[in-house]
Structures are given as structure tokens and as C-alpha cells.
Amino acid sequence: MSKYDPLWDFIKKRNKDKDELSFKEIASILGFKIDHSFLTYKKKLDRYGYSVEKISLKDNKIIITRVK
């Protein structure tokens, strides 16, 4: 189990082809702010049928897309 599993579950339940989440929204879902380890854990999102398209530090958000 990964500390990011609640986020992956949240994304899967939203069932969108493309989704955008702010760092603040993610912290609310997880109960902690994402850190550098997110870069490693984001690969596990593939198991849920999604991938991280972009991480914007400037806009403090991530963009997630469904893998087809």
C-alpha cells in the first residue's frame, strides 16, 4: 500500500478522461502535502488506468489523463 493510494482511488472514482487537481486539493485528500517522493509514486497511477500528464510547480497543480 502506498501513501498515495487515497489519491489514486479519488481519481479513479471521479472517472474523468482528463482531470486537474491543485496541490491544495491533493493535500486535502491525502491529509499531507505532496513532496518529492510523488515523482516516484506517480508511476503507480498506471494501475488505475491513468497517468500524470503534467506537474506544474508554477500553477501548483497536476494534470492527470486516462490511459487509452
Q: Count how many domains the chain has.
A: 1
Q: What is the mean pLDDT of residues 8-21?
A: 95
Which are the contacts of 64, defined by CB distance < 8 A and separation ≥ 6? 11, 18, 19, 20, 21, 45, 50, 51, 52, 53
Return the residue matching grid coordinates 479519488: 10
User: Which pTM was predicted?
Assistant: 0.87
Judged against a pLDDT cut of 90, whether residue 68 lies above it is answered with: no
Range of the structural domain that residue 33 is part of: 5-66
Q: pLDDT confidence of 3, banded at 50, 70, 90?
A: very high
* pLDDT tens digit sequence for 17-47: 999 999 999 999 999 999 988 988 898 899 8
* pLDDT tens digit sequence for 44-65: 899 899 999 999 999 999 999 9
Tell me the CATH number at 10: 3.30.56
